[in-house]
Amino acid sequence: MTSRKVRQKADTTGMAKADAAGAHTRPSLIERDRAHLWHPYTQMKTAPPPLPIVRGEGVYLYTEDGRRLLDGISSWWVNIHGHCHPRLSQALGAQAKQLEQVIFAGCTHEPAVELAERLIEVLPSGLTRVFYSDNGSTAVEIALKLAHQYWRNLGQAGRRTFITLHYAYHGDTIGAMSVSEQSVFTGAFTPLLFPVTRVDAPYCYRCPLGLERATCRIDCLAGLEGALEQHGESVAAVLVEPMLQAAGGMVVWPSEFLAGVRQLCDRYGTLLIADEVLTGFGRTGRMFASEHASISPDIICLSKALTAGYMPLGATVSTERIFEAFLSDDRTKTFFHGHSFTANPLACAVALASLDLFREDDVLGRVRTLESQLRAGLMPLANLPSVGDVRVIGGVGILELVSDKHTREADGYLDGIGPRLADAFVDRGLLMRPLGNVVYFMPPYVITDDEVDWALERIATVISGISPT
């Protein structure tokens, strides 16, 4: 039975109906959802019913109709310490009794200050000024606005364009869409977007120059160098997702590319913005992906795992040099940006508790063990006819599926194989959300070795069952 059928069955059994005594029971969660909700990235006309989740514990989610699913995507890449972690829940509850929210213009509070202090301790060196917001897209918007106004405040308003990479994804607000790769996500909004210069990403499996990683010299950096040479004087910043370009296809980088980006930004005197919304807080095996190349960006964007998936929170952290360019008696040099929930105390408190867990529990050691297990379990799948490439970094294991191994042909994000595989995984108790032909496993770090084996076995079974077209 497919999961779609399972879900439909659950749907009808949960429908509002009269029992034998004629009393009306409550409609199911799915039914109530269908009456009023509109889901992200979802064609509401044709999408199957959503999974009705009623509870989470550790790596598991539980459905209204009694199923248990292992969360193989950390609930959209945010949950790192497991669902309903007692320490995090306790911190959230305690903060709720103290101070739940306060305006952050003209007020401050302990959780915001302490979180800034603690972030600066663990961030790459030189990042010392924290500007809070409430999600990954806003963290990126703020970085773009900071970079733009930084140059303006310095009297170099001509530096106002951005260089970004192919396959980039930085969020869904207008600025974040502008700097992302143009795709099905952005197509409807093209007239609203500002122009950027896009250059090659180090997508080794689909090398833009047709080279092999074993023998190349990171020649793909030439794209960035050429763009800086041509437009250098007008570039406000280069924006990258260091080491792992996520939503654009889970592209894992050689660290030399990242080192080269930093060098080129220095050489051409422009800013480097690292979007570590996904990669921050251990996902790539280091606290921050920038550490793989021992670099510090000028601005870093954080969100997702910042609160371990408990509360929406974003942080854009800059160098002191950037901050100082906003200090002036001239009011127009002020950074006029803010959000109602800027530095929400509940979110800051749970982020602090998450950092405590990093300190106490060797979380990064756990991610490294997970990485070895993912390598051992996934690499052999490279021999399957439908698997073009296997990539692993930190706590992320990736399979890129192709319809022809020799031509590397694949249909990309809209490949219908993604939803079909998602159904097959759910049937086996595993929550996954392939990006079209790119299947990835990104569980909470607290997953045990046995649970990883269990999940990898199911991934292997499903992928082995794909028949070549």
Question: In the complex with ligand PLP, which residue's Cβ is closer, 430 or 435?
Answer: 435
Instruction: Give kind and range of the element (H or E) at residue 62.
Output: strand 60-63
Q: Which amino acid is at 432?
A: M
Stretch that binds ligand PLP, among 28-36, 169-177, 345-353, 394-402 (CB under 6 A): 169-177
Question: In the complex with ligand PLP, which residue's Cβ is closer, 136 or 345?
Answer: 136
- The residues, any chain, with a CB within 8 Å of residue 438's CB and separated by 6 or more, are 249, 250, 398, 399, 400, 401
> How near is the Cβ of 50 to ligand PLP at its closest, in Å?
18
> How near is the Cβ of 137 to ligand PLP at its closest, in Å?
3
Residue 310 designated active-site: no
Q: If DSSP codes are grouped into helix, strand and coil, which group holds residue 314? A: strand
Lookup: tokens for 152: 């303006």
How far is it, in rounded angstroms, from Cα 134 to Cα 13? 38
**Rule CB under 6 A: is residue 241 a binding residue for ligand PLP?**
yes
**DSSP conformation class of 238:** E
Q: Are 173 and 136 in contact (CB under 8 A)?
A: no
Residue 450 designated active-site: no
Nearest one of 321, 297, 273, 277 to 163, comparing CA atoms: 273
Stretch that binds ligand PLP, among 45-53, 164-172, 376-384, 458-466 (CB under 6 A): 164-172
How far is it, in rounded angstroms, from Cα 199 to Cα 181? 10
Lookup: tokens for 254: 């050689």
In the list 79, 270, 303, 403, the residue contacting ligand PLP (rule: CB under 6 A) is 303
Q: Are 122 and 196 in contact (CB under 8 A)?
A: no
Residue 413 designated active-site: no
**DSSP conformation class of 200:** -
**DSSP conformation class of 245:** E
71, 268, 304, 415: which is the annotated catalytic residue? 304
Stretch that binds ligand PLP, among 56-64, 100-108, 239-247, 373-381 (CB under 6 A): 239-247
Q: Are 310 and 92 in contact (CB under 8 A)?
A: yes
Contacts with ligand PLP in 134-153 (CB under 6 A)? 135-137, 140
Question: In the complex with ligand PLP, which residue's Cβ is closer, 171 or 282?
Answer: 171
Strands (E), 213-310: 235-240, 244-245, 251-252, 271-275, 299-302
**Rule CB under 6 A: is residue 91 a binding residue for ligand PLP?**
no
In the list 10, 123, 130, 246, the residue contacting ligand PLP (rule: CB under 6 A) is 246
Q: Are 364 and 286 in contact (CB under 8 A)?
A: yes
Question: In the complex with ligand PLP, which residue's Cβ is closer, 113 or 192?
Answer: 192
Which residue blocks in 232-340 are alpha helix, DSSP H?
255-267, 320-324
Lookup: tokens for 423: 């159904």
Stretch that binds ligand PLP, among 54-62, 82-90, 165-173, 357-365 (CB under 6 A): 165-173
Residue 275 designated active-site: yes
65, 71, 200, 275: which is the annotated catalytic residue? 275
**Rule CB under 6 A: is residue 247 a binding residue for ligand PLP?**
yes
Given the DSSP bridges, would you call strands 299-302 and 271-275 parallel, antiparallel or unpaired? parallel
> How near is the Cβ of 303 to ligand PLP at its closest, in Å?
5
> How near is the Cβ of 392 to ligand PLP at its closest, in Å?
18
Contacts with ligand PLP in 266-285 (CB under 6 A)? 275, 277-278
> How near is the Cβ of 427 to ligand PLP at its closest, in Å?
26
Residue nearest to ligand PLP (CB): 136
The residues carrying an active-site annotation are 41, 169, 275, 304
- Interface residues with ligand PLP (CB under 6 A) are 135-137, 140, 169-171, 241, 246-247, 275, 277-278, 303
